[in-house]
Amino acid sequence: MLQRTIPLVIVFVMGILTTLQFYIPHPISQEFYRTTIDWMNGISSMAIILAIGSLIKHHWTKVSRGQNVVYSTTTLVSLAFMALIGFIGGIGQHSLFQKLFENVQIPLQATMFSLLAFFMASAAYRAFRAKTFEATLLLLAAFIVMIGMIPLGYYISPGISQFSQWILDVPNMAAKRGIMIGVGLGMISTSLKIILGIERNWLGG
Amino acid sequence: MRDFLLKLGNIDRRVIYGIIAIGVIIPLLRPIGLPENITPPVKHLYDYIDSLPKGSVIILSIDYDATVLPEVHPMVLAVLRHAMVRGIKPIGLGLNPAGTGLGLDAFSKVGKELGKKYGIDFVYLGFKPNVSATILGLGEDIRKVFPTDYFGTPIDSIPMLKNVRNYNDIALTISFSGSSLPENWIMYANARYGEKIACGVTAVMAADFYPYLQTGQLIGMIAGLKGAAEYETLVNRLFRRLGLKKPSVIAIRGMDANSLAHVLIMIFIILGNLAYFSSKRGRKE
Amino acid sequence: MSHDPWVWISAILSLFIFSFLYRDNPFYKFAEHLLVGVSAGYYLNIYWYNGIYPNIVSHIIKEHNLLYIVPLFLGLLYFAIFIPKFSYFIRWPIAFLLGTASGFAIPAAFQARIMEQAKGTILFSPSSYNSPLAFINAVLIFIGVLTVLSYFFFSKEHKGGLKISSKIGIIFLMIGFGASFGYTVMARVSLLIGRLQFLLGTWLGLIKY
């Protein structure tokens, strides 16, 4: 009962009510709608407990087992330090918290993702082969968009940029719209399956 | 020739890394300054903001994080400069926790640069975790979603927000993101409340948003570093017309390097294909 | 060259990450774990100051609005995951969020992703008739959307007309993916440009702005 029935009832009731209220502009329906969206932000905020708790548990277990002690300790200490700095000194523009964000978190995160430029260049060299008609078509479209989107393409001939824009506006748009409509239908059917209790994977084991 | 191409096929990845690094560094140190053409989606957004009456309120939603900082952050700075210099009042908020500090940095920086006052000319509300609830909530009452601003000041004591209640009082919302998050603004704010939406997205995501541009669900889009450079160009022209000091042009400065890196990638693809088709496997297929 | 110690910290940490290009090494691993820890500490504060406190706690403490005890209770059930005997209680807040999000998504997705997109495909805007090219484009879009949808239609075997239609759909899809890939190159290169602008400009002072 507590394990499966109540969660399924909550999903069903909330799902049906929030869907129906879209079509029923009654004051009670509106009040329910406002209260629900107000609560959603509060409940979602508290999900951070789950994320941070799991992270601490994972690294704590590693430290206590003597695995990767230095690295896991780095994570735990930096987590505690950053958290304390924010709770003690605040999170304003001139706080130490913001300084650490700008000068530790940003460079690490941004540089981590900048590595992708190198991996993509390597992949471009090794993986993008015009083996079939479809692959050739893909590469041709990619080449035109690549050259058309950079200033060099426009400098060589404005026509290249115009053709590239046409690819984006017409065939690309049609393809993406087809996918979008398909995904939209998928979203609706998945939502309905969740609300009606047909899809229960979220309940876990 | 075939042997040479075969050898090319086995080239060490670190050589490719080195060529790309040099290809980006040289134009950064010695830029040529190739002219920037303005694409229609960027022009539409610029013109829309330009046409708003002075004192209009717009939302800039900081929905990106540092992983896409070089692409999206220059867009935010350029749009903020444009809005503030035109007397339009931006509200900053975000749906990505890791972007909260970036938005704070952008708003504070441009506000200071143009001598604007916090709470009167611009305001920063910070982050909320639930995407659909936040976007829908802003259509009902901004005070319910954001009882306070980022610094903990109650919304009612912020002069700029005295007459701002919901989307009816907000002329435009621009979502800056490295993901498909702007679609949520279209689904919830535009479809339900009729709010005008635009977006500033990374180049990876840009092609996916064209269907929304054609239907008018998006009134404009800034796509990737190129889009940011285009917006910077337009803002620079405006600043020149107004006799103001030209702001820093971080995206424009990066475009020469972008051009050369693209040419290199194209050469890599061509060479990779030549090497492949020279090899036994390639010829068999 | 910069004299700001913060810039130096940023630069050194960036170099730690770049060292991965040569091979995996302790500097990279340290930087990677530091990022995880700092980000988690950052999120904790942001969620508290921007979410938990203003949207729940302050309502209860300052306004004495006891209605907010309900979301507080549901939120606290997240802790249940750390108590094996009662871990199933975590399903309650998840059920609330999943139900509401699904309910909101149905009409929104129908309107924004299906109705508007179908209108944009079938009802050509007046500008479609302005020139022969505009009209051809509108027809191409119509054919493209229909054939792409037919490619994803798996309820019937792709034979005869459906086979031809899905083949045309593939052509549109490949051009679409190609366009995305073309843009992706710019995205990835831009990220590198950003970091190098920082290292060469802000840190080493070799680029003047």
H-type alpha helices, chain A: 5-21, 27-46, 48-64, 69-89, 96-100, 106-126, 133-149, 151-156, 158-169, 171-195
Angle (CA) B177 B183 B185, round 5°: 85
What is the ipTM, given to two decimal places? 0.91
Which of these, C125, A43, C101, lies nearest to B187 by C-alpha position? C101
- Residues with Cβ within 8 Å of residue B12, at least 6 apart in sequence: none
Side by side, the strands of the sheet bearing B89-94 are: B123-127, B89-94, B57-63, B172-177, B197-201, B221-223
- Tracing tokens 């309900």 back to the chain, one arrives at C70
The answer to whether position A15 is within a domain reads: no
Q: State what percent of residues in chain C have pLDDT above 70.
A: 96
DSSP conformational letter for C204 = T
From chain C, the residues in CB contact with A78 under 8 A are 33-34, 37-38, 41
Per residue in C133-154, pLDDT (tens digit) is 888 998 999 999 999 999 998 8
Helix (H, G, I), strand (E, B) or coil at A67: coil
**pLDDT score for B282:** 58
Domain boundaries, chain C: 124-209
* CB contact residues (below 8 A), chain A span 126-165, against chain B: 126-131, 139, 143, 146-147, 149-152, 154-155, 158, 161, 165
Q: Does A14 touch chain C (CB under 8 A)?
A: yes
Average pLDDT, chain B: 93
- Residues with Cβ within 8 Å of residue C142, at least 6 apart in sequence: A174, C121, C122
From chain A, the residues in CB contact with C42 under 8 A are 82, 86, 97, 101, 105
Pair of tokens at residue A151: 């200033």
DSSP conformational letter for C137 = H
Confidence of residue B105 (pLDDT cuts 50, 70, 90): very high
Q: What is the pTM of this model?
A: 0.94
d(CA B60, CA B250): 20
Which of these, C193, C175, A61, C174, lies nearest to B24 by C-alpha position? C193
Phi and psi for C167 in degrees, rounded to 5? -65, -45
The answer to whether position A200 is within a domain reads: no
Distance from CA of A5 to the nearest CA of C (A): 10
Per residue in B137-175, pLDDT (tens digit) is 999 999 999 999 999 999 999 999 999 999 999 999 999
**pLDDT score for C60:** 95
Contact call for B211 and A176, based on CB within 8 A: yes
Q: Does A48 touch chain C (CB under 8 A)?
A: yes
- Which of C100, C112, C192 is closest, CB to CB, to B217? C112
* Count of domains forming chain A: 1
Confidence of residue B278 (pLDDT cuts 50, 70, 90): confident
- Chain C residue with the nearest C-alpha to that of A37: C100
Pair of tokens at residue B258: 């972008």
Which of these, A71, A109, A154, A172, lies nearest to C25 by C-alpha position? A71
Residues of the domain holding A103: 90-127
Question: What are the DSSP calls for B6-52, one per residue?
Answer: HHHHT--HHHHHHHHHHHHHHHHHS---PPPPPPHHHHHHHHHHHHS
Could you tell me the domains of chain B?
A: 2-30+257-284 (no CATH), 40-248 (3.40.50)
**pLDDT score for C196:** 95
H-type alpha helices, C19-78: 26-47, 58-61, 69-76
C148 phi-psi bin (left φ>0, alpha ψ -120 to 50, beta other) = alpha
Phi and psi for B218 in degrees, rounded to 5? -115, 130
The answer to whether position A61 is within a domain reads: no
